[in-house]
Chains A and B, each alone.
Chain A
Amino acid sequence: MNTGIYGQLLDLAAGIFLLAAVLTLWRRDLAAIVRIFAAQGMALAAIALLLGLHEHRWDLVAVAAGIAVLRVGVLPHLMRRALAAGAAAGGETRETQPLVNVAASLLTAAALTLLAYAAARPLVRLAPSPATRALPVGIAVVLIGFFTLVTRRRALSQVVGFLLLDNGITATAFLATSGVPLIVELGVSFDLLLAVLVLQILTTRMRVAFGGTDIDDLRELHD
């Protein structure tokens, strides 16, 4: 593949990846957040695919396909099902009261992205290439995912935050090392699937026990 086109495509995919993370902070409708998450999974798969094609490593292409199946297909499907079950039980479908409001969240996301670029400078300097120049995006998504976890109340938003965090880690791994081995990615994906299943069960149980999924209702469980 032409190096110039490869660089531009990689930047585009990374841009979509970051934009999707920011959009999850902007939207309050949980169904829309799930759609954005699926789009982000697509961008991640594209990053892996581009790296694989550029370096002529077919195992990376297989990893990209696996990522697409898991993060565009399976995980959003699971989340939609949880959402539908919640809506049927009369639960909420919107992130009504985040701890930090939307405008402040977006500003914070911008600050976190700046921070990621600032902190990643020495890494980029080590081996400048299109992939490492996109590396701060991965770190920024990790931070934004973490921020989502800290500020969003609904259990489903928490799941999305957790998955954003993981997407960010995966992207960082791809961009920093030019692709992780297949077996590592398989293990990570399997862990992720299990975590989401567990969280889904937890959400259901919470709804049964408390009638809502605001995780601050768990406050009384501490010792």
Chain B
Amino acid sequence: MNAVGPALALAAALAGAGSVAGLVTPPRWRAAAVGACTTGVGAAGLAAGVAALGGTRWSAALPGLLPLAGVQLAVDALSGLFMAVAGGVIAAVGVYGIGYARPTGHGGHLVAGAAGPAHGVLSRGAQAVLPLFAVTLLLVPAASSVSTFLLLWELMALTSLLLVCAEHRERASVREAGTWYAVMTHLGLVLLLAGLALYAARAGGETFAALRAGAGAMSPAARGTVFVLTATAFASKAGMVPLHAWLPRAHPEAPSHVSALMSAAMVNLGAYGIIRVGFDLLGGGPRWWWLLVLAAGALSAVYGILQAAMASDLKRLLAYSTSENLGLVLVGVGAAGLFAAAGNQALAALALTAAMLHVINHSAFKALLFCAAGSVLRATGLRDLDALGGLRARMPATAGLFAVGALGAVALPPGNGFVSEWLLLQSLIHGLAVPGTLAAVVLPVAVAAIALSAGLAAAVFVKALGVGFFALPRSPRAAGAVEAPPAMLAGMGLLAACCVALALVPGTLADGLTHATAAAGLRGSGTALTENGLQVRLARIPALLSPLWVAVALAAGVLAVSALTGVVARRRRRRQARLWDCGGGAPTARMAYTATSFAEPLQRVFDDVLAPEQDVDVTPVRESAYLVERVRFQRRIPDRIEHRVYRPVLDALTGVGTLARRLATGSVHRYLGYGFFGLVTLLVALAMAQ
């Protein structure tokens, strides 16, 4: 029996119920009701996705649901993969959201929900939109016609925009972030609309089946135009440089469970779109397409993690890290396209498998990290790492869960990110077998970019964990933090369990990933991974990884070292004494590393890339210029691409707007004259054209 259809119907029904519940239930029960429905939506989506990954196909046409075009849905293994990822994240985040949105009595930034009119995250609007956002995340991969896809895509953008703006009354920066997000996502929609409309017109049909059938007969120029337009739109959704400007604004300002959904489920759909259009519908393409994708991915990976290394806002750091990880995914997608264009299907399947596995891994650890950051934010009201610290003692469970997520993000064993990055590197290194100078130049550069980003990621997450959670608290609010409520810990626990499972037994996903790569159109490639107990074995390439044994060996090593030091230390007599402190007294929080000081050496290394702006302001005492009353030092590291690319465009638009105001002087005659002049010009043009 086909389980996909009923599961999706159940998800849609639960989303409707959750939305109504968000509108009608009183504030006290609202978060619980909406959270339960959202979890149900996620679980149903996970079930549908897993069924589709098993090789089940499902399709439905609902011609009556929308005027003109109707709704066309189809699920294959590729859709199933993204659906399952989104479903898993939604289910965990739904549980987390129950605790996150519940009003607190103390210290948190959510006090507004406890008394008076409930704004922000507990507000009726935000709670009603959350299940709808969740269900669009599940349904976008299921769309199988251009109109259905665009409709769901836009619904996803609009619902997420509303959720980003949920706390707009509390902070002005939320409004700015909302504006950026709205403009960027709609520019993306315009490109997508143009690209897909052109495609549908040339292919002679708007269902994906018609697009697939018509792709072969299109001219190379038309195919290239369609790919560039749609890939640009999808890359902007995935946060690729230089279209990433919305991401480090919108993700930090959204409520944390929404950030988790956006960062772990929504941006994935950018990668899904490129795979779906590039591989499945257009059936692959020439090298330059994939070279563009690969270059954008590599650039974003390095630039994103570099900005993350400089960020001292915890959620901004995580947002830039999302840009990095999606960059790695696109490196895999681009490499797969290059290999497929060169005719090496086995390598292409391997690279695409690595990219998809990284999508899964990134979703697991990034959702966990955003949830943990939300837990910190809820407990302290702070996102600034410079003002945090000392949370390990106060929030041990959150600190442990953040550590699990950070381990996944640094791409070192035994974290889950390691497995997919290892696969990606394997595919790129073996890709040198592909003939041609292009491969010989591009692939080593891509390997270097991945290695650099992995190294920087280690520094970034050591900073996030070490500066944020260890040492002494650097502000009273951090000192007053308390552990998150059980619902939040349960949601994060689910995600952490996923991370651990992905890290230890990734081989269980081999079948699903094989189905997904086959559905993406790399047919006849066979399997890229073989499932062999607890190992990951590559089918065509002699390479083998046993993550479980790596983890066991590491654990054994750590145990052995600690046991050894214990034994060695016990032989000596112990004497309790204060550390020699150079006469400085007991260490205070001011002596600890802050996020800024930790990042300072890196900032010096990448000085030319980052171009920091610093300002030293010396105020002398009034009587003498040689005595200093006050020195003020300020340093900002602006997003350089944003500075160079966006600022001139925005300034030009502002200039045009100011000039346009001169047209509106207030004279009614002049306004009427504009209309009259326009009409007469039109008629003259018509008369001349005859």
What is the interface of chain A, defined by CB distance below 8 A to chain B? 99, 112, 115-116, 118-119, 121-122, 143, 146-147, 149-151, 153, 215-216, 218-222
Contacts and interface: CB of A to CB of B under 8 A. Distances in A.
A146 B679 contact: yes
B687 A146 contact: no
Contact of A218 (B668, B672, B683): B668
A218 B666 contact: yes
A150 B672 contact: yes
A218 B672 CA distance: 14
Contacts of B676: 146-147, 149-150
Contacts of B286: none
Interface of B: 664-669, 672-673, 675-676, 679-680, 683-684, 686-687, 690
Contacts of A222: 664-666
A95 B282 CA distance: 68
A143 B664 CA distance: 23
Given A146-B675, A218-B668, 9 more contacts: A112-B680, A115-B680, A143-B680, A146-B676, A146-B679, A151-B669, A215-B669, A220-B666, A222-B666
A150 B673 contact: yes
19 contacts: A112-B680, A115-B680, A118-B687, A122-B690, A143-B683, A146-B679, A147-B676, A149-B672, A149-B676, A150-B669, A150-B672, A150-B673, A151-B669, A153-B669, A215-B668, A219-B665, A222-B664, A222-B665, A222-B666
Contacts of A215: 668-669
A222 B443 CA distance: 61
A101 to B, nearest CB: 15
A115 B666 contact: no
A118 B672 CA distance: 23
A216 B667 contact: yes
Nearest to A219: B666
B664 to A, nearest CB: 6
A119 B669 contact: no
Contacts of B683: 115-116, 118-119, 143
Contacts of B668: 215-216, 218
B262 to A, nearest CB: 36
A153 B676 CA distance: 16
A99 B669 contact: yes
A112 to B, nearest CB: 7
A221 B666 CA distance: 7
B685 to A, nearest CB: 9
Contact of A119 (B667, B672, B675, B686): B686
Nearest to A145: B676
B666 A119 contact: no
Sorted from nearest, which 7 A-B pairs have the closest CB atoms?
A: A222-B666, A118-B687, A219-B666, A119-B683, A119-B687, A150-B672, A150-B673
A181 B586 CA distance: 95
A116 B682 CA distance: 11
A153 B669 CA distance: 8
Q: Helix, strand, loop or mixed for chain B's interface?
A: helix
A116 B325 CA distance: 64
Nearest to A117: B687
A216 B676 CA distance: 17
Given A121-B690, A122-B690, A222-B664, A115 B669 contact: no
Contacts of B666: 218-222
A122 B668 CA distance: 34
B238 to A, nearest CB: 40
A179 B669 CA distance: 33
A219 B670 CA distance: 10
A95 B680 CA distance: 25
Contact of A216 (B669, B675, B684, B690): B669
A216 B669 CA distance: 7
B275 to A, nearest CB: 49
Nearest to B666: A222
Nearest to A114: B687
A112 B687 CA distance: 12
A121 B664 CA distance: 36
Contact of A219 (B667, B672, B680): B667
A214 to B, nearest CB: 10
B322 to A, nearest CB: 41
Nearest to A115: B683
Contacts of A119: 683-684, 686-687
A124 to B, nearest CB: 12
Contacts of B687: 115, 118-119, 121
Contacts of B684: 115, 119
Contacts of A143: 679-680, 683
Contacts of B667: 216, 219
B193 to A, nearest CB: 33
Contacts of A118: 683, 687
Contacts of B673: 150
Nearest to B685: A119
A209 to B, nearest CB: 15
Nearest to A152: B669
B668 to A, nearest CB: 5
B117 to A, nearest CB: 31
Contacts of B665: 219, 222
Contacts of A149: 672, 676
Nearest to A99: B669
A99 B673 CA distance: 11
B667 to A, nearest CB: 5
A52 B675 CA distance: 34
A112 B684 CA distance: 10
A143 to B, nearest CB: 7
A112 B679 CA distance: 11
Question: Which has the most chain B C-beta neighbours within 10 Å: A112, A122, A143, A146?
Answer: A146
A115 B690 CA distance: 13
B690 to A, nearest CB: 6
B20 to A, nearest CB: 40
B64 to A, nearest CB: 32
A99 B672 CA distance: 13
A155 to B, nearest CB: 10
A218 to B, nearest CB: 6
A116 B686 CA distance: 11
Contacts of A218: 666, 668
Contacts of A112: 680
A52 B362 CA distance: 76
A152 B665 CA distance: 18
Contacts of A151: 669
B676 to A, nearest CB: 5
A212 to B, nearest CB: 14
Contacts of A122: 690
Question: Which has the most chain B C-beta neighbours within 10 Å: A112, A119, A121, A222?
Answer: A119
B171 to A, nearest CB: 28
A121 B683 CA distance: 11
A119 B683 CA distance: 6
A91 B669 CA distance: 21
Contacts of B675: 146
Nearest to A116: B683
Nearest to A139: B683
A213 to B, nearest CB: 12
Question: Which has the most chain A C-beta neighbours within 10 Å: B665, B679, B686, B687?
Answer: B687
Nearest to B687: A118
A220 B668 CA distance: 11
B666 to A, nearest CB: 3
A135 B440 CA distance: 74
A115 B668 CA distance: 25
